[in-house]
Every structure is written in structure tokens, then in C-alpha cells.
Amino acid sequence: MEALPRETIVDVLEDRLRTDILDGLHPAGSYLPPERRLADGYGVTRTTLKHAFGRLAQAGLLETRHGVGTRVRDYARLGGADLLPMLVRHDSGWVREVFEVRRGVGALIAERAAERGTRPQRAELGALLAALPRAEGADAVQLADVEVHRALARATGNRVYVLLTNTLFNAYLPVRSLLQGPFTDPEAAHRRLAPVVEAVTAGDARRAREAADTYLRDTERIMLEGLA
Amino acid sequence: MEALPRETIVDVLEDRLRTDILDGLHPAGSYLPPERRLADGYGVTRTTLKHAFGRLAQAGLLETRHGVGTRVRDYARLGGADLLPMLVRHDSGWVREVFEVRRGVGALIAERAAERGTRPQRAELGALLAALPRAEGADAVQLADVEVHRALARATGNRVYVLLTNTLFNAYLPVRSLLQGPFTDPEAAHRRLAPVVEAVTAGDARRAREAADTYLRDTERIMLEGLA
DNA sequence: GTGGCTGAGTGGATGAGCCACTGAACCAGT
DNA sequence: ACTGGTTCAGTGGCTCATCCACTCAGCCAC
């Protein structure tokens, strides 16, 4: 089982605000109504509204100035990758673009991991890969797959690749139930991924890059078949 | 001039909490003291503390469960790239790793931009590049340089590259005053960057990738000289 | 054992109130 | 006319006191 979190008012409100913004109800650059009025409109306290504002501001969607107001940032132009989860949830058209980037970055990571992975890191990769076909259910297989990629990112020795990998995963893990195609058959998933780990373990950078590219292309194709 | 934002209590508190966490005062996985006690300890209201909590939770540093408590997430393992600005500010050791990734991703972007940039996008690139040597002061030159890179990301036709570029810039723009070495001479900055734009405009993907790699290597080297 | 109850401790949310800031309109002095 | 100061309405920042909702461990009846 898995403990699923309750949905607080702030959560709901944040979602609603985000939707309203991304739908264009409050266009980029425009000011939101004053907090008092907006809180009244949504039937919540100003305090609660401010909590939701705080999150959206942290995410880069809003920008508040004391004495002036709160306005919608031009997120498409200036926003960071941490907006992806909400953008993907709001419009699945982003998924394809996320995957393309994932492919490019994944290839870089495999290359670096092959060049610089330490012995224990390679051993961990092997263990995680071996655990994959033992997972039960497509969801578990997918998560086991994710763990292998996290380990690959760690093996680059560059912590930023780890964070970047997490960001890209965060972007589509919330909608992962729609993308389980590649993971319904644990054996097949294992076969696709194995060459990447093999090349990295062997320390062959060029082959690792190519294997990662192939793996990501295949996985992406199978995932998107499920969407179409 | 530039309007610099005031520092609110929540800002200060957030900074303090972040520092305490990143310094290991509250290790990953551990629970923070209860809100009432912590608020008392910092001399602020629980409401204010919760605002700061909200931001850090959104950033992926904290995780709150109703009725249980707030605990520090294992950000090094599970955090996203949006943590970078705070990590870099806290420990400049991250800068080198950010640059390495920036180099890899920058090369990907240049390659894609060369393949897929539209005519107006190429024109914009040329215009932004031409504006660079006209900027006054290292800071303005650096920001003009950033704008060229944003335009390059847009020219890939993939919005995720734009967000990713912003994320990486956000990581080191807050400390950019320490990294102005490459931008003290506008003419030199222009000369380094020009080959990238030229190759992209010519639609030569391979050359664009190599030019970007060279540019990023050079810029990185000059920047880090200033740090050492 | 098993299942339900209870109470202490925790975060969630409220609403009234006051403070601090911004910007535009106004007004005086030059 | 122009400049500079003052005022004021509107906005967000922050606090406080209070109650609600949830979790967990311990207890107890069955």
C-alpha cells in the first residue's frame, strides 16, 4: 500500500489558481485582483490565499510586490524547469518535448557515467538493473527503471545531473499511469535497458551514449503509442 | 538604476531555515521541531513560519504531514534542479558542476537550434548578438549574453530547453557578480559568442555543437579564474 | 489477539486587526 | 512652468488568538 496524501484547501486553491492562470484567465504580465477581493471570491481567508500565492510565487508563476499587487510572470519566457510538473499536468502536449530533452540529457549522462563511474557505482547499477525484472506490476517496474536512471546520474559524479534527472522525472511521473506501455513486460524492459548499463559498466563512453539514445528512443516510442 | 526588492521577514526566515538545513543542523530525513516551538524559537508567528515552510516545501526541501510533523527531504537524492539557486548560494562548489552541465546542454541546444531554427528566430539571434557589444558595463554585457542563449533555446522549438536554460541561469545569476570575468570586454565577449550564432544561422548542426562547446569551455575557464 | 476508544501532540485554517509600502493626486514654493 | 514635499487610498506583510482535523500510541473491552 501507499499512503496517499490528503488534499488540503491550499492544495485545491493552488490548483485552481494555476489552472486559471495557465488557461489564460490571468494573462502573463497582468495583475491579479487584490488579495482581499480574490480571497473573498474563492471563499477562503486571505491567509490561506497567501499560502497558495507563496507556492506559486516560489514556482515562478507569480510575482508579488508590497504595496502594488501580485502579477503573473511570463513563465513561458522566464520560468524554470520546476514548472514542468504543473505544465505537463495542465497540457499533455508538453510530454513529447520533455522526452526529447530527456533523450539528449540521458545520452550525456550515460556518456559521463561510462567515463567516470566508480566501481561501487557500477556495482549498484548492476544490482538495480537485476532488481528490475523482479518488480511486480507495471508501476513497480517503471519505478525500478527510474531508480536505475537516478543511479546513472549519480555515477556521473556531477550532482547537477542528479537534480536534472529528478526534474525531468518529476515532470512526467505524475502522469505516469498513462505511460506504462514500456513497463508491462518486465523482461522486455530489462532487455531494453541492459545494454546501457552494460556499456557504462564497461567504461565505453561512445557505446553508452548510443545505447542510451536507443533505449530512450524505444521507450519514448512505446510510451507515446499509448497516448495516441 | 534597478529596483531592488525589499527583504521581508519571510525572506529572512526562509534563508535562515535553509541555511540551518543545508548546514546539517536538521539532517535529511529528520523531523523539524513542532511549528509552535520553532516559531517561538525564531521569534515569529506560526503563520509567518508556515509561509516560509510553504516555500521550502515547494522547493522540495521540506515535506509536511498533517498531524505528524515536517521533515527534511533527502534533497541530494530526490530534489529537483530548482534547488540549485539555493545550493549554489550556500556552497559555491556547485558552480563548477553547474557549468559542466551547462556545457553539455548548451551543445545540445546549439545543435537543435541549427537544425530547426526558423528564419525569424535566426534574425533575432543576429540582432541580439549585435546588441551585445553595445551594452555598457560587465553586468549588462553578461545579461545581453544570457539573452542570446535564451533565444538559442527558443530556436530549438522545444519549450523544455527554454525552461532548462532558465533553470541553469537561475542557478548562477544570483552570484554572477563574482563571475564577470568573461564580460569585462564587450568586444571579446562578442568574438567568443559570434561563431555559435554564425553556425546556427548557417544551419550547420555539427559546427554549432562544436562552437557552443568551445564557447562554453572558454567562458567557464575565464569565469572560474575569477573564483580561484 | 483483535478492534475500538481516547487523549496528547501535531499541522490546517480562520478572521480580525494593525503595520508598511506604493503611487497618484494635490499643493506649496520657486 | 517646474520642482519637491505631503497626503491618502489601496495594496500586501505580519501578528494574534482560536478552533478544527489528523496521527499515533496507549489502553481497554471483547
Closest Cα in chain A, distance from residue B79 (Å): 6
- Tens-binned pLDDT, residue by residue, of chain B (228 aa): 445 556 788 888 998 999 999 998 999 999 999 999 999 999 889 999 999 999 899 888 999 998 899 999 998 888 888 889 888 888 888 989 999 999 999 999 999 999 999 999 999 999 999 988 888 888 888 889 999 999 999 999 999 999 999 999 888 887 777 777 777 888 888 999 999 999 999 999 999 999 999 999 999 888 887 665
* Domains of chain B: residue spans and CATH: 9-79 (1.10.10.10), 82-227 (1.20.120.530)
Report pLDDT for A92.
80
End-to-end CA distance of chain A: 31
Q: For residue range A100-151, list pLDDT tens digits in order.
A: 999 999 999 999 999 999 999 999 999 999 988 888 888 888 889 999 999 9
- Between B201 and A7, the higher pLDDT residue: B201
pLDDT tier, A1 (very low <50, low <70, confident <90, very high otherwise): very low
Nearest chain A residue (CA) to B58? A55
Q: For residue range B152-182, list pLDDT tens digits in order.
A: 999 999 999 999 999 998 888 877 777 777 7
Q: Beta carbon of A77 within 7 Å of strand D?
A: no
Is the predicted pLDDT of residue A86 greater than 90, yes or no? no
Identify any residues that bridge with B69 across adjacent strands, giving them in sequence order: B65
Reported in sequence order, the residue ranges of chain A that DSSP labels E, i.e. its strands, are: 62-65, 69-72
Least confident segment among A14-18, A172-176, B95-99, B223-227: B223-227
**Contacts (Cβ under 8 Å, ≥6 apart) of A129:** A148, A190, A193, A194, A197
- Rank A16-25, A207-216, B41-50, B92-101 by mean pLDDT and report only the highest: A207-216
Question: What is the length of chain B?
Answer: 228
- Contact assessment for residue B110 and residue B212, using Cβ atoms and an 8 Å cutoff: yes
Nearest chain B residue (CA) to A108? B104
CA distances in angstroms from B168 to A14, B128, B163, B200, listed in the order given: 26, 20, 9, 21
Report pLDDT for B1.
43
CB of A170 less than 8 A from some CB of B = yes
- Contact assessment for residue B46 and residue B10, using Cβ atoms and an 8 Å cutoff: no
Closest Cα in chain B, distance from residue A50 (Å): 8
Question: What DSSP element (H or E) covers B64?
Answer: strand B62-65
Q: With CA atoms as reference, report the closest residue to A224 among A179, A162, A189, A191.
A: A179
Eight-state DSSP code of residue B92: T
**Contacts (Cβ under 8 Å, ≥6 apart) of B212:** B106, B107, B109, B110, B111, B196
Q: Is the dihedral of CA A173, A3, A10, B20 positive or negative?
A: negative
